[in-house]
Amino acid sequence: MSTIELELLAPAKNLNSGIAAINHGADAVYIGGPLFGARSAASNTLTDIEKLVRFAHLFRARVYIALNTLFKDDELEAAVTLCHQLYNMGADALIIQDMGLLESDLPPIALHSSTQMNNRTPAKVQFLEKVGFQQVVLARELSLTEIRQISAETTVPLEFFVHGALCVSYSGQCYISEIVAGRSANRGECAQFCRHKFNLMDRRGQILKKDRYLLSLKDLDLSVRLADLIDAGITSFKIEGRLKDESYVKNVTAYYRKLLDGIVNAGSGLSTSSSGSCRFDFVPDPEKSFHRGKTEYFLSGRRNVVGEIRTPKATGKLVGLVRSVERQFFTLSSDEVIHNGDGLCFFDQKNKLTGIRVNRVEDGRLYPKGGCEQLYLIPGTEIYRNSDMQFNKLLSQSDQCRSIDVVMRLEETREGLQLLITDVDGVVSVTKLSFEKEQARKPGSLENLAIKQLKKSGGTIFSVIEITTQLSSELFCPASTVNEIRRRGFVNHLETRLKSYNVVSEVALGIVQNNYPWPGKEITYQDNITNKRAEKFYIRHGGKIVAEDREVLLPANVEKPALMTTKYCVKAQLSLCPKECKDKGLLDKTLTLTDNSGDYELEFDCNKCEMIVRKVERKR
């Protein structure tokens, strides 16, 4: 019976972050190329991507390139050229959104369907599988029941976000940034309007909530639901964060690596999809990295409070309650150790987030910079730590914590020595070294010397777990000779591993064009067609195009288009859900969000449990 391979997929802002992700346990990383990634601030050179591919493949880990923007007609050829370049340097897959690429001359490289393709139904995912996608990133809003339904009706590997920032809109269905600021989220230029401060008003103009971040969500954290997701059919577990720093990547990747290893090691017919084992010199804790509070979103299918409307900033980990306050210091009721230089924060009596830098800690007293008089701290206030100096230091020092187990056999040859290295994947390399043999003064002394020197694998990715020898008792050579064959052996084995990976990965995956029917009826602006090839793709699959303007995503003939379509609901966030609220007087009110960029009407489809945000003309 074959095992199910699980993939921990980590983000990479750049080469260093990508290497850090692999070192800390990622089975795969996703990274933006020099162009066309959905995070324009996280682009990378081809040279750096090639270096990352080589490093990842040493561990049988994969590198996926995010090309998940929408293309204009005059950009497609450059995108196709880039696809060939990435394939030639060994990239494992491309994450795409634009169907125009499927009408292009692509290399035989795996294609993954971005979550921006709005992958929410069995019919949609089945369609993507039939037209050639090798992996599908599901929408974050799905419940376990919905995931199971998709898994039951498809065979394509399913990928799901398990950690990180949440887009309030269905991915690919957010146009507010493009309309208001001319920056298309579908072309990697999101202006993050969801993190704005808004007023919420009723139809009479009465303010129901003032200066609150009413579209800002907590961060996703499904760490306690991994087993449930595996049971539902997920095999790739994705961490959000291509704009996050290296420390975040190390910490969060290590955290999920340990959790998945625990599940795999429980003997449940599961395996990891890459090689190597990790040993960490820190205890991973996602709450100690960028953290807005956590939510499981709608995984259980229940409507719940998923927003953090007080602030869009990171609050970090709750460390205790204020016990007492003096002019220069305060004390905490806490089991956590606070260090000099730590960053703390709290919500004051007006729910405003206030930051504190701890100058020094003495006998349990915390002395903030500037004292306490202007902080408006009161006993009982919850204190969070959003910067842990000691933990950050440990993360900065964490480097090569992943290794490949190998066994060695050193044998005597006519010309000298040969070293056989066999690793955990069964890859074997043979390295020979010729030298002028010497007579041992003490018979058998070379064996002990050889074992001692061959154990030394520092500075490499290898961990030597067993050494055997076949040496004449009369043979002797200096330690430098053994060190040299060990050094050459490790270099040779690295190259042998890379060559064996290339043989495995060169599978013909080319897209075969077909006419499998599109599951919808009409193709609208929400299907994001921006070039003629994408239009050709949908027509060939039976779609009826009703959005004709390819220069912008929102055609001028659509009146009051949906700028956002979201499972998140302001009414539910404020305990005003019509299905649960007892105050029926509030339920039929037209609600409007307003900020300095304009007025936005909220439309509620309670049958679908969805909220739609539309732009309206501001009253003068």
Give the burial string for 154-170 (b: 16+ CB within 10 Å, else e). Answer: bebbbbbbbbbbbbbbb
Burial label for 267, CB within 10 Å (0-12, 13-18, 19+), is exposed
Per mean pLDDT, which range of 55-59, 130-134, 549-553, 586-590 is the poorest?
549-553
Domain that holds residue 333: 315-397
Cα dihedral 546→551→553→554 (10° resolution): -70
SS3 222: coil
Model confidence at 584, in pLDDT bands (50, 70, 90)? low
Q: Cβ distance 299 to 237 under 8 Å? A: no
Phi, psi of 42 (to 5 degrees): -130, 55
Question: H-helix or E-strand containing 439?
Answer: strand 438-439
Verify that 435 and 492 share a domain, yes or no: yes
**Per the structure block, which two tokens stand in for 16?**
């260093």
Verify that 280 and 321 share a domain, yes or no: no
What does the alpha-carbon distance between residue 18 and residue 48 come to, in Å, rounded to a whole number?
10
**Which residue, 445, 442, 453, is CA-closest to 419?**
453
Per mean pLDDT, which range of 31-45, 87-101, 105-119, 551-565 is the poorest?
551-565
Verify that 133 and 266 share a domain, yes or no: yes
CATH number, residue 319: 2.40.10.170
Sign of CA dihedral 165, 168, 173, 174: negative
Domain assignment of residue 550, yes or no: no
Burial label for 605, CB within 10 Å (0-12, 13-18, 19+), is exposed
**Which residue, 92, 131, 134, 130, is CA-closest to 114?**
134
Verify that 237 and 112 share a domain, yes or no: yes
User: Across residues 118-122, what is the average pLDDT?
Assistant: 96
Domain assignment of residue 605, yes or no: no
pLDDT at 577: 83
CATH number, residue 130: 3.20.20.70
pLDDT at 554: 45
Reply yes or no on whether the pLDDT at 283 is more than 60. Answer: yes
Taking each helix axis from N to C terminus, what angle separates 15-23 and 246-264, rounded to the nearest 10 degrees? 30
Model confidence at 232, in pLDDT bands (50, 70, 90)? very high
- pLDDT tens per residue across span 471-521: 999 998 999 999 999 999 999 999 999 999 974 444 456 677 899 999 987
Domain assignment of residue 538, yes or no: no
pLDDT at 386: 95
**Per the structure block, which two tokens stand in for 608?**
């679908």
Reply yes or no on whether the pLDDT at 373 is more than 70. Answer: yes
Reply yes or no on whether the pLDDT at 552 is more than 60. Answer: no
- Going from the C-alpha of 440 to that of each of 414, 450, 472, 475, 480, the distances in angstroms are 16, 13, 10, 5, 16
- Going from the C-alpha of 7 to that of each of 3, 236, 612, the distances in angstroms are 13, 5, 34
**Which residue, 156, 161, 100, is CA-closest to 124?**
156
pLDDT at 37: 64
* Those residues with Cβ within 8 angstroms of residue 487's Cβ, 6 or more apart along the chain or in another chain: none
Domain assignment of residue 32, yes or no: yes
**Per the structure block, which two tokens stand in for 305?**
């409070």
SS3 239: strand
Verify that 71 and 88 share a domain, yes or no: yes
The number of domains in the chain is: 3
Residue of higher predicted confidence among 92 and 35: 92
Verify that 275 and 417 share a domain, yes or no: no
Give the burial string for 171-186 (b: 16+ CB within 10 Å, else e). Answer: bbbbbbbbbbeebbbb
Verify that 408 and 384 share a domain, yes or no: no
* Residue length of the chain: 620
Verify that 274 and 347 share a domain, yes or no: no
Model confidence at 553, in pLDDT bands (50, 70, 90)? very low
Verify that 361 and 345 share a domain, yes or no: yes
* Those residues with Cβ within 8 angstroms of residue 302's Cβ, 6 or more apart along the chain or in another chain: none
**Which residue, 510, 506, 403, is CA-closest to 464?**
403
Using a pLDDT cut of 90, give the percent of the chain over it: 77
What does the angle CA 610 – CA 172 – CA 520 come to, to the nearest 5 degrees?
Answer: 75
Domain assignment of residue 8, yes or no: yes
Verify that 97 and 158 share a domain, yes or no: yes
Query: What is the secondary structure of 520-557 as a DSSP string?
Result: SSEE-GGG---SHHHHHHHHHTT-EE-----SSSS-TT
Entry pTM: 0.94
Verify that 321 and 430 share a domain, yes or no: no
Domain assignment of residue 529, yes or no: no
Verify that 259 and 330 share a domain, yes or no: no
Average pLDDT, the chain: 91
- pLDDT tens per residue across span 135-161: 999 999 999 999 999 999 999 999 999
Model confidence at 60, in pLDDT bands (50, 70, 90)? very high
Domain assignment of residue 307, yes or no: no
Of the residues 505, 526, 550, which one is the last residue of a structural domain?
A: 505
What does the alpha-carbon distance between residue 250 and residue 245 come to, in Å, rounded to a whole number?
9
**Per the structure block, which two tokens stand in for 427?**
């890859």
Reply yes or no on whether the pLDDT at 525 is more than 80. Answer: yes
pLDDT at 503: 45
pLDDT at 396: 96
Of the residues 443, 474, 505, which one is the last residue of a structural domain?
A: 505
pLDDT at 550: 43
Domain assignment of residue 20, yes or no: yes
pLDDT at 504: 45
Of the residues 377, 397, 417, which one is the last residue of a structural domain?
A: 397
What does the angle CA 235 – CA 237 – CA 241 come to, to the nearest 5 degrees?
Answer: 155
CA 141 to chain CA centroid, Å, is 16
**Per the structure block, which two tokens stand in for 178?**
């493009």
Model confidence at 36, in pLDDT bands (50, 70, 90)? confident
